[in-house]
Amino acid sequence: MPDNDPKVNPRPAESPCLAAALDYLSRSWSPIPLVGKRPVESWDEFQERRPTEAEVRAAWGRHPNTNVGIAMGPVSGMIGLDLDGPEALEMAEELFGAEGLPVTLGFTTPGGGQRLFYSVSSDCPVTKRRWDRKDSDGKPTGSHVIVMGKGAQTVMPPSIHPDTGTAYAWPAALKPLAPAPAHLIELATRKEPTPAPPAARQPHPWEKPGPGGAMPHDEPVNLLERVRLYLRGCPPAISGQGGHAQTFKVALALVQGFQLDERTALALLEEVYNPTCQPPWTVKELEHKLADAAKAEYRNGKAEGYLRDAQRPPPAATTPSAPRATKPVSPTTIEIGNLLAKEYPEPKWAVEGIIPEGGALLAARPKTGKSWLALNIALAVSYGGVALGRVDVERGEVLYLALEDGERRLQDRIKKVLKAQQMEQPAGIYFATTWPRSSAGGLDAIDAFLEAHPQCRLVVIDTVARFRDRGAGQGNAYDEDYAAMAAVQALALRRGVAVLGITHTRKPKGKGAGDDEDPLDEVQNSTGMTGAADAVLVLKRPRGTREGTLFITGRDLEERTLRIGMDPEFCLWSIRDFNADDPDDAIVSQDWKKVRQAIRKAGHGLSPVELAQVLNKDANAISCMLGRMKRAGVLQPEGYGRWTLPEGAPQEARQTATDRQTTVSRDSADG
């Protein structure tokens, strides 16, 4: 019997998605590992053939904490139907008419949608077809029907939904897999009628007259020629200067603004735009950009097709322009009753209690580990894990401007942190080692990135001095510093992200002076920089020591000083003092508290599966968390596979009065 036979070496209970993948493989379906809803590796090969059991085990060995998906189409002998949104069922009735859809295998997604599956033959021509419900202005309402065939994949149980954190699950009573009805295949493969040629119209503003005042075309310019004119006016993508975001923006304009199909858009990009890029993109890279753009949604109220017949010019290249005259703005007021009655959304956090939405500063002396601290936090956000060894963070994309590093050093640092935390490569974190300064297009480039990446939660600028404008030295230092930080803060608040700028602290004034000095006065530059920031973090670590302090203050933050430490081998920062049971200790993960409360209530040790049921989380994620709790000294193993509180651990706080983090109300200090 082979060594990898599951009866000889059963897989641990913490790999439910691997177990599901092997089960799906036994049903002749083609399983693939996913991060969230996206494949973690290239899966082109497994659209044509199913993986072997050894390949499945190897894939989950490389990525043990991933979700599981199935490649649709003939390779799995079935197609999928995704009904999502409040109007999806009504749309399905309209699409499939009186013939309807037969009862078949399926499940309800954590988001409330329906996923149905139908068996197909090996020559089924269905690829992917999508219908969106739109309002009277042509904007998507959020309801859609998608037929998923060859080239598409779908998330399967027991994966964890990336937004809700809830597991996908099969219903208690499974229906048999029904054959795909002929009218479903016909509808999914039906070709759209060729649109009628556009009526004669006046030339668009960007269609410039040729020599002598004549238009370059005898007849009005058709759609494809208008796209060519648009592309010629787009700034080229330049490596290290926001090239990815710029090309995504162009791809978005083609597939959604002009509503071109991806094949036509690709041909135009290769013909007109790609030769201007430095360096040019490969065809595969352009295909990925177009595929991502086709799935995205326009923001700021732009509807699909807004460029198709729009009377507007293409985006101008970044060149200095004369300031436009501004009209006087009348101030607005709000009466106290209306203000108190108004409801505002809860503030967002990159790291709860530490880095809020808006502009933040992290300051420290050179070579104290502030860049390592920022990298630790950025990777935790991109992975949706735990920051500083204690604080659960919500997963989101990250833009990291490492302006003092080269790519080789950056690669070494990332590998070191990932290895230390036993993390797989996260998706959705983007790095740049060069970036234009703020007024030279740097802020606009960040804005373009955030436009193309609406799931971004954190932007790191390391360092502020490499990004902000060089002062002329003739103006007021406070005004210049305040304006520089205020511009970053305004962009962060408008986009709903946290922007963390890394800067330095001044040399201490003298022996004994540093202890009584206001930490904000230690931040480099004038107080205009700290005055405009929403949060300020000051890191201190004496030379030759592992321990340090992190002072935290801000407009919506409780002012406090945390004792933190750095692992010198792996360069990991973690909070040293915390209260594992105090419900008011916002720094400690709420899940840690729930685990300890559950064990205390049970009166004995609990297994990861039992704790996963209490917390409604994946058992694999719980196992990883229990390991961190053991290293922190708040849990210990009991027998085989069970966890309990350490012997003699007090039922209340673990920290002493001298270790307790200092807390000062900001109400009296913040004007």
Q: DSSP letters along 276-327, please?
A: GSBSPPPHHHHHHHHHHHHH----TTPPTTTTTS---PPPPPS---PPPP--
Closest CA relative to residue 491, chosen from 548, 524, 556, 444 = 444
Region of 100 on the Ramachandran plot (φ > 0 left; ψ -120 to 50 alpha; else beta): left
Q: Report the distance separating Cα 39 and Cα 251, nearest Å.
A: 21
Q: Which amino acid is at 552?
A: I
Q: Which two structure tokens, joined as six digits, stand for 104?
A: 């078949």
Main-chain dihedrals φ then ψ at residue 346, nearest 5 degrees: -65, 145
Closest CA relative to residue 532, chosen from 478, 494, 495, 496 = 478
Band of pLDDT at residue 566, cut at 50, 70 and 90: confident
Helix (H, G, I), strand (E, B) or coil at 476: coil
Pairing of strands 559-567, 572-575: antiparallel
Label residue 271 exposed, middle or buried (CB < 10 Å: 0-12, 13-18, 19+).
exposed
Cis peptide before 279 (omega within 30 of 0): yes
- 651 pLDDT higher than 90: no
Helix (H, G, I), strand (E, B) or coil at 93: helix
pLDDT of residue 197: 45
In this structure, the number of other CB atoms found within 10 A of the CB of residue 424 comes to 16
- Distances in Å between the alpha carbon of 429 and those of 222, 246, 360, 538? 40, 17, 19, 25
Q: Report the distance separating Cα 18 and Cα 620, nearest Å.
A: 11
Which DSSP symbol is given to 653? -
CB 107 within 8 A of CB 70: no
Residues 6+ apart with CB under 8 A from 583: 593
- Distances in Å between the alpha carbon of 437 and those of 403, 441, 486? 11, 7, 15
Pairing of strands 559-567, 391-392: unpaired
Lowest mean pLDDT among 98-107, 112-121, 168-177, 415-424: 415-424
- 215 pLDDT higher than 50: no
CB 464 within 8 A of CB 338: no
pLDDT of residue 136: 65
Residues 6+ apart with CB under 8 A from 393: 349, 350, 351, 352, 377, 380, 381, 384, 385, 386, 387
- 667 pLDDT higher than 80: no
- What's the pTM? 0.44
Helix (H, G, I), strand (E, B) or coil at 368: coil
pLDDT of residue 75: 95
Q: What is the pLDDT of residues 92-130, one digit of tens each?
A: 888 887 678 899 999 999 888 899 999 999 999 999 888
pLDDT of residue 148: 94
Q: What is the arithmetic mean of pLDDT over 36-57?
A: 87
Q: Report the distance separating Cα 397 and Cα 381, nearest Å.
A: 7
**Any idea which residue has 């037969």 for tokens?**
102
Which DSSP symbol is given to 46? G
25-34, 43-52, 441-450, range with greatest mean pLDDT? 25-34
Q: What is the arithmetic mean of pLDDT over 36-49?
A: 84
pLDDT of residue 9: 37
- 567 pLDDT higher than 50: yes
- 470 pLDDT higher than 80: no
- Distances in Å between the alpha carbon of 630 and those of 505, 623, 637, 655? 35, 11, 8, 16
Region of 169 on the Ramachandran plot (φ > 0 left; ψ -120 to 50 alpha; else beta): beta
pLDDT of residue 104: 93
Q: Which amino acid is at 188?
A: A
Residues 6+ apart with CB under 8 A from 178: 102, 103, 104, 105, 118, 119
Q: Report the distance separating Cα 134 and Cα 141, nearest Å.
A: 5
Q: Report the distance separating Cα 200 and Cα 628, nearest Å.
A: 68
Q: Which two structure tokens, joined as six digits, stand for 244?
A: 């990815």
pLDDT of residue 192: 59
In this structure, the number of other CB atoms found within 10 A of the CB of residue 119 comes to 16
Q: Which two structure tokens, joined as six digits, stand for 655?
A: 């920290």
Which DSSP symbol is given to 256? I
Q: Report the distance separating Cα 236 and Cα 515, nearest Å.
A: 52
pLDDT of residue 232: 82
Q: Which two structure tokens, joined as six digits, stand for 343?
A: 């409801």
Q: Which amino acid is at 75?
A: V
Q: What is the pLDDT of residues 311-363, one digit of tens each?
A: 444 444 444 444 445 555 567 788 888 888 877 777 788 888 889 899 999 99
In this structure, the number of other CB atoms found within 10 A of the CB of residue 493 comes to 15
Closest CA relative to residue 190, chosen from 133, 131, 259, 143 = 131
* Longest CA–CA separation in the chain, Å: 93
In this structure, the number of other CB atoms found within 10 A of the CB of residue 12 comes to 15
CB 560 within 8 A of CB 662: yes
Average pLDDT, the chain: 77
% of the chain with per-residue pLDDT over 70: 76
Q: What is the arithmetic mean of pLDDT over 137-166?
A: 85
- 21 pLDDT higher than 60: yes
To which H or E segment does residue 631 belong?
Answer: helix 619-631
Q: Report the distance separating Cα 116 and Cα 520, nearest Å.
A: 58
- 140 pLDDT higher than 70: yes
Q: What is the pLDDT of residues 612-645, one digit of tens each?
A: 888 777 666 677 677 767 766 778 888 767 888 8
85-94, 122-131, 192-201, 202-211, range with greatest mean pLDDT? 122-131
Lowest mean pLDDT among 142-146, 522-526, 585-589: 585-589
Q: Which two structure tokens, joined as six digits, stand for 647?
A: 């012997």
More confident residue, 292 or 458: 458
Lowest mean pLDDT among 80-84, 259-263, 497-501, 515-519: 515-519
